[in-house]
């Protein structure tokens, strides 16, 4: 995976990491993004009558940058445009996410990117150990899940800069995915329940969990731990189905036995009534007894 450019999380610099991974190179620094943010602040202050009331929403000292800064940075560097996934202009992409070439996603001060490199999709999240290779079918499930979870998703429009990983044959990435034995388990889990399977999503957490010393349970878990958890989930689901099937068989058997008992009792009762009502039969029995 060294061919795919990846940056690991430092402080709250996820916007910088997301931009650099999207463009596949070290294009932006904290200073360059802060410079753009200050320019935007100046424009906004110029529109106010009382500048003393102004408070920047474009960046802060921790390293957070707004969507306005990200939009302007991509426009200047690569002439790229961001379109919200809910926009009517990208309705076809909302219906079929694999039609796009890249995304940038945001939730609760965290940014990450998704990009198609050559013919292969990668999730590029600075909270992960490295780039995550995914198939088109998984991408569609993943984008759907992010959207349902409340993430802001932006489609990247324009021509992305070329990168070295684009020359890698698709077969190499396919073999890499098979070797890891991760994605198939994730796809099965998501197919069973989007609510239960969230292997790649950083859910709504505190700033400490996202950027502090605490380790996010989902976002920074080892891949093998994720795989084992998913396998356990699948086994539990199969076990539950087996239990329900066994219970159904027992109930069915009990009902059949009950019906047989009722039929047997009914037959015995009917025969008794017939014997009591037949005088000839009673007389014969009596005569036989006397003899």
Q: Residue 132: in which H helix or E strand, if any? A: strand 132-134
Catalytic status, residue 163 = no
The Cβ-side half-sphere exposure at 259, using a 13 Å CA radius, reads 6
Catalytic residue chosen out of the listed positions 20, 58, 125, 281:
125
Catalytic status, residue 285 = no
Catalytic status, residue 147 = no
Structure tokens at 172: 């190499």
Cα(33)–Cα(63) distance, rounded to whole angstroms? Answer: 9
Cα(151)–Cα(143) distance, rounded to whole angstroms? Answer: 9
Cβ atoms 28, 137 nearer than 8 A:
no
Sheet of 110-117, strand order:
81-84, 152-157, 102-107, 110-117, 120-124, 132-134
Catalytic residue chosen out of the listed positions 6, 17, 106, 110:
110
Catalytic residue chosen out of the listed positions 14, 20, 105, 106:
14
Which residues are marked as active site? 14, 110, 125
């Amino acid at each position: 995976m060294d061919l795919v450019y990846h940056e690991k999380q430092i402080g709250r610099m996820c916007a910088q990491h997301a931009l650099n991974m999207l463009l596949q190179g070290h294009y932006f620094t904290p200073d360059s993004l802060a410079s753009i943010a200050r320019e935007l602040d100046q424009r906004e202050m110029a529109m106010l009558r009382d500048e003393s009331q102004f408070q920047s929403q474009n960046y802060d000292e921790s390293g957070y940058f707004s969507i306005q800064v990200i939009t302007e940075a991509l426009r200047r560097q690569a002439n790229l445009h961001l379109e919200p996934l809910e926009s009517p202009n990208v309705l076809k992409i909302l219906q079929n996410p694999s039609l796009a070439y890249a995304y940038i996603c945001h939730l609760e001060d965290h940014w990450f990117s998704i990009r198609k490199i050559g013919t292969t999709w990668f999730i590029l999240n600075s909270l992960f150990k490295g780039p995550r290779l995914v198939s088109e079918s998984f991408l569609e499930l993943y984008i759907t899940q992010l959207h349902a979870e409340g993430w802001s998703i932006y489609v990247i429009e324009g021509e992305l800069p070329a990168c070295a990983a684009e020359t890698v044959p698709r077969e190499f990435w396919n073999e890499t995915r098979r070797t890891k034995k991760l994605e198939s388990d994730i796809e099965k889990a998501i197919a069973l329940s989007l609510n239960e399977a969230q292997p790649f999503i950083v859910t709504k957490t505190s700033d400490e969990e996202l950027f502090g010393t605490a380790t996010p349970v989902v976002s920074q878990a080892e891949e093998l731990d994720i795989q084992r958890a998913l396998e356990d989930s699948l086994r539990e689901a199969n076990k539950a189905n087996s239990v329900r099937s066994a219970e159904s068989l027992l109930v069915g058997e009990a009902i059949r036995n009950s019906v047989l008992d009722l039929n047997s009792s009914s037959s015995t009762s009917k025969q008794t009534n017939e014997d009591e009502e037949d005088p000839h039969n009673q007389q014969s029995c009596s005569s036989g007894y006397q003899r």
